[in-house]
Structure 1
Amino acid sequence: MAQARKRSTSDVEAVVRAGRFDVAALQEIAGDKSFARGSAYKADGRVEVMTIDDTRVIARVAGTEIYRCELTGRGKSFSGHCTCQAFVDWAFCKHLTAVALTVNDLDPEALGQASNRLGKIRYHLRTKGIDRLVEMVLDLAGRDPKLLEELELSATLDTADDATLIAQFKKAITDATRVRGYVEYRDMRDWARRIDGVLDRISVLRDGGKVLLVLELLEHFFARMDEALTRVDDSDGGGGACYARACEIHLAACEQSKPEPIKLARELFKREVSSDWDFFFGASETYAGVLGAAGLGEYRRLATEAWQKVKSRQRGRTEVQPNGEYALRAMMERFAERDNDVDGIIAIRANDLSSAYRYLEVAQACLDNGREQEALKWAEEGLWKFEDEPDKGLVLFACDLLQQNGRNEDASALLWKLFGKEPSVDLYQRLISAAGDRKAQIGVRDDAVAMLSARAEKSGSQAEWDVFGAPDVLVRVLMAEGLLADAWAAVGKHGCREIAMEELAKASEVDLPAEALKAYAQLVERKVRMGGQGNYEAAYAMIKRMRRLDGATQHSAYLADLMTRHKAKRNFIKLLASKQAS
C-alpha cells in the first residue's frame, strides 16, 4: 500500500498563514466577553489541535470538561461548532475563540505536527488488518459502556427483524430517559447527551427507510419525556432541545411515510391541547403539508368542537385540559386567519376578557386589520373595567390612538395616572411628547420633578425603592433635561443606584468633571470592596475614564493610594499591573 505524501511544514505553514482567522472579525462574532475568555483559555494552554488543513481545524479544549471544536473557513469568513452548552445557546463560544487564536499563533513545527497527526493514525490502522482492528475496537468497547451500546445497536440494525429493533430501541429510550428521583442541574448535560445518542440512532433508522418504526418509537419517546421533564432541572434547555429534535425527526418521518391524515390529525390535536409542554404548539401549521385538506379539515372539526365547550364552560368529557385553552384559542385563530375572517379572530379573542391584557389582544387584532376606531373602543373599555389595575401595554396602546385622534389631554391624563404608579423615563418622554409646545413641556418637567422628589422623600423602605426606583428616575429625568447640577443635588439628597450614578458621571465628564471624578472614586471603592473579577473589571473601566479627567500626577497618586489600601486584593492588583503594562 502506497503511503500518502506527507505534507511538509512549509506547505502547512503557507496554508495556515493564508487561512488564519481575522482577529477583528473573530472578536465581532464572539463578542467581547467570549473573546476575553477565549484569550485566557488560549494563554492557559487549554487548546489541543487535533488536525488542521486548508479549510478545517479540529481541536479539543479543556474547560469544565473536554469539548470538541471544529472551525471551517479562513480570514473574515469562518464558522464553527462546539460541543459545549454555550454554543447551543449563543452560537459562538469562548472555546472556538481559543482555538482560532491558538491556530493563529502556531509555530511551523506545531503546524506540521497538527496536520499530520490523524494522518499518521489512519496509516497506522490501515496496516493492522481487519481482524486486529476488530479486536482493538472490542477491547475499547469493553472499557466504554457507551461505545459498547453503540456497537450493539449498530449490529442490530444490520441483522435484526422489526420486532427486535422495536424492543431494543424502546429499551434504549427507556434507559436514556430514566430519572431516578430528580436530575440536578449539574447532571443535566450527561442526561441530555444520552438522549441525544439514542436520537442519533433513531435518525439512522429513518434514513434507512424504517420510518414506520421510527414513528412508533417516537410515541414511546414522547410519553417518556413528557413525564421525565417534570423531574429535571432544565434551566439550560438541554432536555427541551432533545424533545424539539425528536419533533423534527417525527415531522420528517411523517413526510416520508405519509400516514393516514385523519388519524394523524387526531394524534396531533390531542398532543397540542393535552400536553404540559408546547413542543407541538402550532402543529396544524407545521404538519399542514402532511395533513392535506382532509387532515386539516379533521383538525378544524376537533378544534371547533372543543372550542364550543370552552366557550360555554360546559363540564363533561373533553380532551382540552385547563392549560390547553391557550393552545386551542391560538389554533382557532390560525384557522380564522386562513379564512381571512377578521370578525372570527376578534370574537375568539373577546371570548376571554378576564384581564386588561385580554382587552389589549382584542384591540390589537382590530388595529392590525385597519379598524382603528373599534380598536380604541375596546382599549377604552378595558381601561375603564380595570381602572384600579391598569396594564401598561394597554395604557400605551390607548394613548397612541388617542394622540392620533387629537385627544392629547385624554392621553396625558392616562399617562400621568400610570406615571404616578410606575414612574419611568420612558413614560416621562411620552408625557413630554403629548404636551405639545415647549411651555407645556416645561410644565410637565416641573410637575414630574416635583412628583418624583416627593416620592423619593418617602423611599425609605427597600421594597418601594426596588419596585419604583423614584430616586433613579428623578436623576435620569434631570439628566434628560440637561440639568446635571440638579441631578447631582438629587443624588446627594436621595441617593440612587450605582448604575444611575455611573450614567450621571459619564454625562458630567465635560461640564462637571469634579463631580464625575468624585462619583467614579466612590464606585471604584465599592466594586473593589465587593470583590470578584467582574467587579474588578468594572472598576478598572471607571479608572480608565478617571485618567482622562485627572492630571497625570494626581491620577498616579490616586492609583498608588488605591493599590496600597487594597493590596490584599491580589487579583485586583494583578489586573491593574497587567493593564498598566499594556
Structure 2
Amino acid sequence: MNFWLDRSNVTWAERWDGLTAAVADLSGVVLAGPGARRVVEEVAELLVAGASRHRAHRAALSELVDRVLDLHAVACGSDPPSPTALADWLLHVQTGFAEPPEVRLAPYAAALGAQGLARYRDEAVARFSELPVIGFGRTGRYDRERWALLRVMEELAEHVGDVDLQVLVLARDLSSGWHYLQVATVLRDAGRVEEALEWVGRGLRATGGRGAASRLVDLAVDECLRLGWRERALGWRRRAFLAWPSPETYERLRALAAGIGGWPAVREDVLAQVRAAGDPDVVADLLARVAAREG
C-alpha cells in the first residue's frame, strides 16, 4: 500500500488506480474466507497514516479508508478477534493518527459483544473525562486529541442510546449559555425534568442573564407548565425578573401571572423588591417604561 501512496515519480491518477486495485484485491481475499483480518487492519492503518501525509488527497483517501473499514467489519465476522482486542484497535485507529477516520460501531456490534463494548466504553470515557472542561466565556482549545475523542464519544453515545454519555460529552464544553441549554434539552427530552431544571439554574448563573438566558427560562417554564407545576413556573419568571429587571422580563412575568391568576399581588411584590434593591434612577426608568407598556 505504501508503494502506491508514496510513489512520487508517477501521477496521482496512476497512484490512485493502484490503491483502488489493491483494495479491490483485498475485498476478494476477505470474501474468500477467514484469515484476512490482520491484513485489513494493517492496510487501514497505512491508509489512515497516508491521509495525513497527502493532505491534498485527504478526502479521496478517507473514502478509501471507509471502504477498508467496511471490509474489516466483515472480516471480524468470519475471523473474530478477541472482543477486548477489537475494542482497543478501534480506539487506536480513531485516536492514534493525525487524520483519524470516523468509525461506526453498528457493523462491529456482533464482534464486540457485551465484553468488547464495555471495554470500548470504559476506555473512551476514561480518556475523555481527563479532558479539561471549557468554562463559560472561555475559548476552547480543540486539538487533535480532543476532536478525536469527541467523535468517539458522540458515536458511542448514539450507538448505545445513553443519555448520561450525551450529557458527559456536552458538559465538557460550557463556554456559552447555549451549551447549558443543549444539556438541559437532552435531559428534558429524556424525561429527566428535575435534572434539566438543575442545568437551567446552572446556565442562568453562568450567563448572568445574557445570551441564552431567556431560552433557558423558557425551557424551565414550559416544562413546569406541561407538568402542571404552575407555581414553579411562576417562580422561574419571578426570579428572572428580579435578577435581571427589564421591560422584557417584566412582560413575560406579567403574561404568565395574568394567565394563572394573582397578577396584582405578584406585581406589587416584585416592584417593591426592585425599588428596595435597585439604583433609584435605574428603578425610576424601569418603572416608567413598565407604566408605559401598561398604558
| Structure 2 residue runs without a partner (length 5+) | 134-143, 226-232, 249-254, 256-295
The one-character-per-residue Cα deviations of 1:69-117 (angstroms, maximum 9, x if unpaired) are: xxxxxxxxxxxxxxxxxxxxxxxxxxxxxxxxxxxxxxxxxxxxxxxxx
Take 1:379 and 1:225, find their aligned partners in 2: how far apart are those partners? 45
Is 1:228 the counterpart of 2:46? The answer is no
1:350 alignment partner in structure 2: 171
Deviation at 1:395, TM superposition (A): 6.1
1:195 alignment partner in structure 2: 19
Deviation at 1:176, TM superposition (A): 2.3
SS at match of 2:56: coil
Distance 1:180-1:257 versus aligned 2 partners, 3 A rule: same
Deviation at 1:330, TM superposition (A): 3.1
Deviation at 1:325, TM superposition (A): 3.1
1:325-336 to structure 2, matched below 5 A, reads 325-330=149-154, 333=157
SS at match of 2:174: coil
Distance 1:294-1:403 versus aligned 2 partners, 3 A rule: closer
Deviation at 1:263, TM superposition (A): 1.7
1:38-437 to structure 2, matched below 5 A, reads 173-178=1-6, 180=8, 191-209=15-33, 211-212=34-35, 214-230=36-52, 231-234=54-57, 237-283=59-105, 285-307=106-128, 309-310=130-131, 321-330=145-154, 333=157, 337=161, 342=163, 345-347=166-168, 349-372=170-193, 374-379=195-200, 381-382=202-203, 384-386=205-207, 390=211, 394=212, 397-398=215-216, 401=219, 404=222, 405=225
Superposition RMSD in Å: 4.4
Take 1:266 and 1:322, find their aligned partners in 2: how far apart are those partners? 18
Distance 1:397-1:252 versus aligned 2 partners, 3 A rule: farther
Deviation at 1:258, TM superposition (A): 1.6
Deviation at 1:290, TM superposition (A): 0.9
CA contact (8 A) 2:84 2:119 kept: yes
Normalised to the residue count of structure 2, the TM-score between the two structures is: 0.58
Take 1:327 and 1:402, find their aligned partners in 2: how far apart are those partners? 30
Amino acid at match of 2:88: R
Distance 1:386-1:222 versus aligned 2 partners, 3 A rule: farther
Amino acid at match of 2:49: E
Amino acid at match of 1:271: V
Take 1:362 and 1:225, find their aligned partners in 2: how far apart are those partners? 37
Deviation at 1:337, TM superposition (A): 3.7
Take 1:286 and 1:397, find their aligned partners in 2: how far apart are those partners? 39
CA contact (8 A) 2:49 2:98 kept: no
Deviation at 1:371, TM superposition (A): 3.2
Take 1:334 and 1:281, find their aligned partners in 2: how far apart are those partners? 12
Distance 1:398-1:255 versus aligned 2 partners, 3 A rule: same
The one-character-per-residue Cα deviations of 1:451-493 (angstroms, maximum 9, x if unpaired) are: xxxxxxxxxxxxxxxxxxxxxxxxxxxxxxxxxxxxxxxxxxx
| Structure 1 residue runs without a partner (length 5+) | 1-172, 313-319, 418-435, 437-582
Take 1:179 and 1:357, find their aligned partners in 2: how far apart are those partners? 48
SS at match of 1:259: coil
Distance 1:398-1:194 versus aligned 2 partners, 3 A rule: farther
1:506-521 to structure 2, matched below 5 A, reads none
Percent of residue pairs identical: 20
CA contact (8 A) 1:206 1:253 kept: yes
Take 1:282 and 1:357, find their aligned partners in 2: how far apart are those partners? 28
CA contact (8 A) 1:188 1:238 kept: no
Q: Which has the higher contact order (CA 8 A, sep 6+)?
A: 2
Deviation at 1:277, TM superposition (A): 3.8
SS at match of 1:370: coil
Normalised to the residue count of structure 1, the TM-score between the two structures is: 0.32
Distance 1:365-1:189 versus aligned 2 partners, 3 A rule: farther
Deviation at 1:398, TM superposition (A): 3.0
Deviation at 1:289, TM superposition (A): 0.6
Deviation at 1:287, TM superposition (A): 0.9
1:426-575 to structure 2, matched below 5 A, reads none
Aligned length: 226
Q: Which protein shows a greater Rg?
A: 1
The one-character-per-residue Cα deviations of 1:497-527 (angstroms, maximum 9, x if unpaired) are: xxxxxxxxxxxxxxxxxxxxxxxxxxxxxxx
Deviation at 1:306, TM superposition (A): 3.0
Give the structure with the higher percent strand. 1
Take 1:220 and 1:197, find their aligned partners in 2: how far apart are those partners? 16
Distance 1:362-1:189 versus aligned 2 partners, 3 A rule: farther
Distance 1:353-1:202 versus aligned 2 partners, 3 A rule: same
Take 1:298 and 1:288, find their aligned partners in 2: how far apart are those partners? 13
Deviation at 1:368, TM superposition (A): 1.6
CA contact (8 A) 2:153 2:165 kept: no
